Amino acid sequence: MPEQQKKINLSINEGAEFFAHELSINFNPTQFIFDFKCITPRNDLRSKEVPHLNIKHNVILTDVFHAKQIYELLGKVLGDYEKKYSKIEMPKALKKAQKDSKKKKDEKTTKESIPNYLG
């Protein structure tokens, strides 16, 4: 007599796609916290004087062992990508922006640097 097959109901709750501009990673003794952020300047038609930023967060909490596995997997996948396509390099526009930002920072050595997401 064949082994009886068990049935199972499975549902998958897929999250919405999310483009992250920034990532911060923090940890405590038992977990890592990955905070993916999407920061988007918005034009608020009701208030032309005050800039409006829309900040979305997707936070992922994982234990330290799984954080290590993410690290190893990401390294492997990046290596595979570079073998297939080419070395990943910083885009020229971003290099220029960093160079310009460094010049401005060097010029303002007395002022504290505050991120400006409005351009």
- The answer to whether position 70 is within a domain reads yes
Number of domains in the chain: 1
Domain residues for the domain of 77 are 22-107
- The answer to whether position 15 is within a domain reads no
- The answer to whether position 47 is within a domain reads yes
Kindly give the pairing relationship between strand 31-42 and strand 22-27: antiparallel
Is residue 119's pLDDT more than 50?
no
- The answer to whether position 48 is within a domain reads yes
Asked if 53 and 39 count as a contact pair (C-beta separation under 8 A), the reply is yes
Which pTM was predicted?
A: 0.65
- The answer to whether position 85 is within a domain reads yes
User: In this predicted model, what pLDDT tens digit does every residue of 32-66 receive, in sequence order?
Assistant: 999 999 988 877 677 667 777 888 999 999 999 99
Q: Which helix (H) or strand (E) holds 54?
A: strand 52-63
